Structures are given as structure tokens and as C-alpha cells.
Structure 1
């Protein structure tokens, strides 16, 4: 009786001298040969995310209309959006670029003091100034992704001045805390 022995899977049978079968293991794919060398090292990936803030979609202009002695107001005169990733939050201020609202008509020398124009915000407000910014919003955390939509109201105490349109430029500043 003859006994037949099969090599395990992954082995190949080679015919040796005199027809004697010998088995040899296959070298696994990716293993190193007898003369190969290998060395490894690693690196750390870091991503630094800086604090950012933007003030966008600020209303271009607004108009308050009335006669001397009136106090016209618009509770939604100015809208804007502030977006920041700063965890400490942010503040928004507004300040006039001039000490007075200047007339547009030629020959009119009347002016309206900037303090006659006041602003209301959701966390602050008051009479405007060309020297001191007025805080209209403060919060102690970052904005929503896409920004926080904010609104300011304005009112003016119209003094006894000529009929005209009086203007100034208001500068809004959003700053991280």
C-alpha cells in the first residue's frame, strides 16, 4: 500500500534528488528578503486655527425724517452680520466720523450735533460721538456658524435748523474679546 502525502496550502513541492519530494515554504508577499533593511519614524500633524471675525451685510444708509423739535426713530434702521470663531466672544461699536451732521444744500451753515443722534443695540447704545465709540452689542461666546444677524435702532432730536438733509458717516467695528 502506498501512502500519498500532500503538502499544506502555500507550499510547493519540489522534486529532489532521486525523485524524493521535498517541500519549501513560500515567502509571504511584502516580507523582507535576507539582505533587505527597513527603518521607520513618525511626524505629528498640527493645524493652527487662528481667531477670525467679519462684519458683513451692513445697511448702506438710513434716513430719519421730521421737523425741528421732533424725535423721529427707526428701531430697525441698521442691520448687519457678525461671524467669529473666537470662544471669548466679541463686541460691536459704532462711532461717527464727524462731530456734527453736515448740511447738503449750498449756503446752509447749520449743523446738527452728533450727540443728537442716538443708537440702540441689543446690549447697549446711547448718544453718538466722534471721539468715543458706543457699544451696541457684546457677547461672551463665538457667533453662530454663518454669523449672528444684528439690528440697531436710531433716533434723532432735531434742533431748530434749516430744512435740509444732514449727513455723517458711521463706522462700525466688530472686535474679538
Structure 2
């Protein structure tokens, strides 16, 4: 069976050790985590964990069953369909040589990113979007010399149902 990327999001009790148990479940069973994001929700007693992993349908079902067995997991959803909004953010430090500055500015505008720090020899760019957009931007900036990069990994929420006007 073919492995595909899946985005899992879960609400968990915001307590010490919960993240460790979730990550331990993945590593203990040989599941790989492509990206992991964790943050407190509007309720300080609850955190949202978003994990991107590659799995075939049978493996995904096994992962979900194991996660639901964890006592601190309040809610688990697989969010890989079109009802979910998925984004990630990247900070990219790129060499800003005189001959590349115009091209960097053009790419920043094209990708609706922002330059958030400027020095004589580099720019730090902030960009957000889906993983494909981040990969495309990084690919276009690479020839100019990316010095360092930090990516958040995917965060996701389901769209709210549309109401009549």
C-alpha cells in the first residue's frame, strides 16, 4: 500500500509528560514524525498537537487507535482533506548581495512574504502558506544562498461551516 502524508491534530491535557507520551508512542512503534507543533489553546488546560506523518491507510488506522488509547488525548482528528486549512511558517535568512536584492524583493512580493530583518549582507524573510508554497519559495531562494532556515511544520484547523447570509 502507498504511504501518503497525513495531518493529525489532537487536543490533549496541558500537563507535563503528555507530549513525551505522544512522541514516545510514535518512536516506540517505529512511526516517523515529519513535523510536530504544540501550543496551548484558548483554554489553558488544553493544548493542540499537530503531527504530520507518512502512512498507508492501515498504518494510519493503527496510529489513530494507539493515540486514542492515551488517557490525556481528549480529541483526535485526521485533517488531510479539503475541509482543513493547513499552513506553516518559515523564517529564511538569505544572503542579500547587491546583484540579488531586486530578485529577492520580487520573490518576497510574489509569495506575499515579508522581510522582517535587514543587514548589509542578508535579509530575514517571514513567509507562511501550505508546505508546497514554502518548498517553492525555498527552492527559488536557494541559488541566492540561504544561510539558515526555521520552519514551524504544519498547523491545521477545520473550516467552520458556511452560514446563509
Per the TM superposition, whether the score is higher than 0.5 is: no
TM-score by length of 1: 0.26
**TM-score (norm: length of structure 2):** 0.28
Structure number with higher helix proportion: 2
